[in-house]
């Protein structure tokens, strides 16, 4: 199978590689993959992934080990990061000073709240 034959099929899948770049995987038919696996392996090593199609539908993907490890590497999930940030913020709000400020805010009159809001806006510039 030639490089042109792999491109002729067109990119079926796109993904972010280990460097964060968008990569469109080449695609080959299952028959071509079976007959010329060495060529498919070369394409994978150069491009990171090759999609295997059967009856013009994507059925499997062959990844390089580098791409596989990048995808399966354990990392902090966004939810874990947000949970940590929330817990830290909550801990800061539990100090005696923060509790006193909260009590004062709820006990303040509308006029006092307005003055505090104006002062805070001026500080921010």
So where are the chain's domains?
A: 3-72, 78-124
Q: How big, in percent rounded to 5, are the helix, strand and coil portions of the chain?
A: 60, 20, 20
Residue 23 has φ and ψ, to the nearest 5°, of -125, 130
Q: What is the pLDDT along the chain (125 residues), one digit of tens a residue?
A: 544 454 444 456 777 776 777 878 888 999 999 999 999 999 898 877 899 999 989 999 999 898 888 778 776 667 777 888 898 888 888 889 888 888 888 999 999 999 999 999 998 87
Measured CA angle at 124 (ends 122, 125), to 5 deg:
65
Q: What is the pLDDT of residue 11?
A: 53
- Assigned superfamily of 3-72: YefM-like domain (3.40.1620.10)
Query: Which tokens sit at 8?
Result: 């002729």
How far is Cα 32 from Cα 25, in angstroms, rounded to an integer?
16
């Amino acid at each position: 199978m030639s490089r042109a034959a792999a491109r002729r099929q067109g990119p079926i899948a796109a993904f972010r590689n280990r460097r964060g770049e968008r990569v469109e995987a080449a695609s080959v038919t299952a028959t071509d993959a079976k007959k010329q696996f060495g060529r498919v392996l070369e394409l994978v090593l150069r491009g990171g992934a090759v999609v295997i199609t059967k009856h013009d539908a994507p059925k499997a993907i062959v990844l390089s080990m580098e791409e596989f490890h990048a995808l399966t590497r354990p990392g902090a999930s966004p939810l874990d990061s947000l949970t940590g940030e929330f817990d830290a913020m909550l801990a800061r709000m539990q100090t005696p000073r923060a509790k006193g400020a909260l009590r004062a805010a709820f006990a303040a009159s509308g006029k006092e709240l307005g003055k505090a809001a104006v002062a805070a806006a001026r500080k921010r510039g």
